[in-house]
Copies of this chain bind each other. A is one copy, B any other.
Amino acid sequence: MTNYRIDCLQYANWSEKIFCQMRKGDLDAVHVTIAYHETFRETVLNIEQWNRWFEQFPHLIFHGSTGADVKLARQSGRTAIFFGFQNPSPIEDDIGLVQVLHQLGARFMQLTYNNQSLLATGCYEDYDAGLTRMGRKVVDEMNRVGMVVDMSHSGEKSTLDAIEHSKRPIAITHANPHSWHPALRNKSKTVMKELAQTGGMLGFSIYPHHLKDGSNCTLESFCQMVAEAVEVMGIDSIGIGTDLCQDQPDSVVEWMRIGRWTKNIDYGEGSALDAGFPPMPNWYQDSRDFSNIDNGLVLLGMSKEERSKIMGNNWLRFYDDSFGAIK
């Protein structure tokens, strides 16, 4: 059995250095966020930037679109890059853009980023009304073409609605159990159970605001949280989505939080005293530290097969099942 390694969420200030670190961390695939608040045209500009990186660094990375590309990445010693959006802004008000963006390689789309969108309610709104009329139609279209519904930043009811309405398993690419660290972004046991029962996936995040004790969270505590999630969800529905925001200036976290929706500052998960990107835990500075997670799980007594599933094989199975058109 091959042990694949997949990081199912990064939003780094990518560079040749970071691509080399992906290789040093033996990452076969990375799901990269290419839009937060971007319009369609702005998203296409970001795709153009990625096309240039693929042309410049073909020995390090290539554009992945299927599960088979993860295997190709392993065989050829490169990292397959999969595109995703943390907001549905790239499709604007136009359901036809779902297929167009799938043709351009998008494989994940969050229905919301913290706020209400045209499709669903974000986790920071006061009231969550669930999937909207357009939201249901867009989920159907995402199901048809093979784009994964990602509810990482959505409210509880919207998330449960999406799980129920979607004909294909959905994902929460980067979040942790609310019981371990009660951040608004972390997920309830109800969501975790429904997700697992429908074949969905949860990727554990290492973004400090999602961690118990924040930047000081220990590897032991993180791995204990993973083990407890196995009790709730089973071993087949979990993976890693580090939410690594490496080398980003703090102006970027401000853009992530306020986009163009407010003229005022909003600190999101941070605060006025802690407004910037929080420092990552010392055991996860960049992709070269990916194996530290595996090492931590060894110390908990997890078997090689269990660790392989968490470190990438579950995501690979999910990629294989999720990215093609419905037959």
Q: Chain A residues in contact with chain B, CB under 8 A?
A: 40-41, 44-45, 47-48, 51-52, 94, 96-97, 99-100, 103-105
Contacts and interface: CB of A to CB of B under 8 A. Distances in A.
A99 B51 contact: yes
A144 to B, nearest CB: 8
B103 A48 contact: no
A99 B40 contact: no
A286 B41 CA distance: 37
Contact of A48 (B47, B48, B100, B104): B100
Complex A-B, nearest 10 residue pairs according to Cβ-Cβ distance, in ascending order: A48-B96, A51-B99, A103-B104, A44-B100, A47-B100, A48-B100, A41-B41, A103-B103, A51-B96, A100-B104
Contact of A45 (B44, B48, B96): B96
Contacts of A40: 41, 44
Given A48-B94, A51-B96, A51-B100, 10 more contacts: A41-B41, A45-B96, A47-B100, A48-B96, A48-B99, A48-B100, A100-B104, A103-B104, A103-B105, A104-B104
21 contacts: A40-B41, A40-B44, A41-B41, A44-B97, A44-B100, A45-B96, A47-B100, A48-B94, A48-B96, A48-B97, A48-B99, A48-B100, A51-B96, A51-B99, A51-B100, A52-B96, A100-B104, A103-B103, A103-B104, A103-B105, A104-B104
A90 to B, nearest CB: 12
A153 to B, nearest CB: 26
A51 B52 CA distance: 27
Contacts of A99: 48, 51
Contacts of A96: 45, 48, 51-52
- Find the residue from A44, A52, A105 having the highest chain B CB count within 10 A: A44
Nearest to A41: B41
Contacts of A94: 48
A327 to B, nearest CB: 13
A41 B105 CA distance: 18
Nearest to A40: B41
A103 B40 CA distance: 16
Contacts of A44: 40, 97, 100
A30 B47 CA distance: 29
Contacts of A100: 44, 47-48, 51, 104
A77 to B, nearest CB: 20
A41 B94 CA distance: 12
A34 B51 CA distance: 24
A45 B97 CA distance: 8
A308 to B, nearest CB: 33
